[in-house]
Amino acid sequence: MKKIYFATLLIIIAATSNAQQKISWSFAAKKLTNNTYELHMTATPPTGWHIYSQTTPDGGPIQTEFKFTNNALVTVPVTKPKEVGKLISYFDKNFKVDVKYFDGKVDFVKTVTVKGKIKTNISGTVESMICNDRTCMPPTTEKFNIALN
């Protein structure tokens, strides 16, 4: 009976520790000129976990995707943010695609332009998922709001 109890307890602890794994996001703006800002959307997955590139092909794991809320005062290019981090690419036999993920922290960088000398914000969402060598967490969506001062 003690063995069954102990095994059940270990399973609950393992499931709980996996359920708590999530990406730590930070969001900031760096002023480049009077009207131009560089957005930094930085993902830090837990140790042993990784986040997927925006360019991971369809059919594979969920790629990271940013959606910006329309703001008439800010021009946001339609291009994807630049990815700055250690990119790893390999052919995944399960998905049958070239999977692209980042080992450790990754900074997603996007340049935006404010119309005039005003203070405003840029907001939106980022959808992403993390995996380790054994399992994946369900995709999550994080809201963000970045001040442009």
Q: Is residue 10 part of a domain?
A: no
Q: What is the pTM of this model?
A: 0.84
Q: Is residue 96 part of a domain?
A: yes
Region at 10 (left for phi over 0; alpha for psi -120 to 50; beta for the rest): alpha
Structural domain for 107, as ranges: 23-148
Q: Is residue 121 part of a domain?
A: yes
- Domain count within the chain: 1
Q: Is residue 107 part of a domain?
A: yes
Nearest to 148 by CA among 121, 123, 125, 124: 121
Q: What is the pLDDT of residues 85-126, one digit of tens each?
A: 999 999 988 889 999 999 999 999 999 999 988 899 999 999
pLDDT, residue 12, reads: 37
| CATH number of residue 29's parent domain | 2.60.40.1250
